[in-house]
């Protein structure tokens, strides 16, 4: 089963691969003393949780993307700042897709 992400169809395995790459970016920022990733950590999901739903991984990607973009942003009007705002919007939308 495929869902659209950014206009194209993406499989769960591809979402998990993207999730893995983003977690590597998170670790880089943490090791260099940048950023707080509390919203992502509160989700209690990581790429190794392959049993979790596709919607949960998708939501985690948007939450983590928002936090990474926030670390990179100088202000909300910069490119990364706008990305952070957009990721927050997408995280909010995908939270409705998660079946609890």
Residue 6 has pLDDT above 60, yes or no: no
Q: Walk me through the domains of the chain, giving residue ranges and CATH numbers.
A: 11-95 (1.20.1270.110)
* Selected residue with higher pLDDT from 70 and 6: 70
Residue 1 has pLDDT above 50, yes or no: no
pLDDT at 3: 58
This model's pTM is above 0.75 = no
Burial-class residue 25 by CB neighbours within 10 Å (0-12, 13-18, 19+): middle
Cβ contacts of 87 within 8 Å, gap of 6 or more? 62, 63, 65, 66, 69
* Cα maximum dimension of the chain: 39
Q: What is the pLDDT of residues 34-89, one digit of tens each?
A: 888 999 999 999 999 999 999 999 999 999 999 998 888 765 556 666 777 888 88
Q: Is 9 helix (H, G, I), strand (E, B) or coil?
A: strand
């Amino acid at each position: 089963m495929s869902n659209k992400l950014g206009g194209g169809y993406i499989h769960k395995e591809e979402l998990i691969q993207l999730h893995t790459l983003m977690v590597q970016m998170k670790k880089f920022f943490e090791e260099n003393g940048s950023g707080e990733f509390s919203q992502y950590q509160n989700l209690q999901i990581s790429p190794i949780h392959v049993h979790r739903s596709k919607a949960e991984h998708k939501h985690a990607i948007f939450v983590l993307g928002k936090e990474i973009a926030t670390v990179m942003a100088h202000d909300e009007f910069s490119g990364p700042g706008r990305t952070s705002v957009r990721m927050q919007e997408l995280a909010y939308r995908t939270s409705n897709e998660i079946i609890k």
